[in-house]
């Protein structure tokens, strides 16, 4: 029963996150700073922001069990997941104008709705 309640709350939360993300009006990012950073420093700064975000840590702790096989070498699996998310983040930041951000917002909202749709019928297997 507790699993069903948590699952239902999770589905509602994903939907609650997706709807405003889809409807948001994106604006081009403006950097007010005159400091020029190398691409490596920009990447490292973005990485620090991402790994210090508690939502990212919760997301990875929820996502990890589905994609990491404990019977296989884990370092390779974690590197593959890290590479995948790096590519996704880098592709999202490559086009930071309003249309690119709107497209990114809608793709992320769609992904959240797909996840909610996949989570809703999920049944916990018996121990």
Contact partners, residue 64, CB within 8 Å, separation at least 6: 81
Answering whether pTM is above 0.85, one says no
Share of the chain above pLDDT 70, in %: 79
Residue that is written with structure tokens 């490292």 in the block: 44
Domain of 11?
2-26+38-119
- Residues 19, 70: Cα–Cα separation, whole Å: 35
In a domain, 97, yes or no: yes
Q: Report pLDDT digits (tens) over 36-50.
A: 777 788 778 777 877
33: in domain: no
pLDDT digits (tens, 9 = 90+) for 85-113: 777 666 655 555 667 678 878 888 999 99
Q: Which residues contact 124 (CB under 8 A, 6 or more apart)?
A: 3
- Tally of domains in the chain: 1
């Amino acid at each position: 029963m507790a699993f069903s309640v948590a699952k239902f709350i999770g589905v509602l939360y994903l939907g609650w996150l997706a709807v405003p993300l889809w409807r948001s009006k994106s604006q081009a990012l403006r950097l007010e700073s005159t400091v020029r950073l190398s691409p490596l420093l920009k990447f490292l700064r973005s990485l620090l922001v991402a790994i210090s975000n508690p939502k990212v840590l919760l997301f990875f702790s929820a996502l990890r069990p589905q994609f990491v096989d404990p019977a296989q070498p884990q370092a390779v699996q974690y590197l593959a997941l890290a590479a995948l998310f790096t590519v996704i983040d880098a592709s999202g930041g490559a086009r930071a104008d309003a249309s690119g951000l709107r497209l990114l917002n809608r793709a992320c909202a769609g992904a959240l709705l797909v996840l909610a749709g996949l989570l809703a019928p999920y049944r916990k297997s018996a121990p």
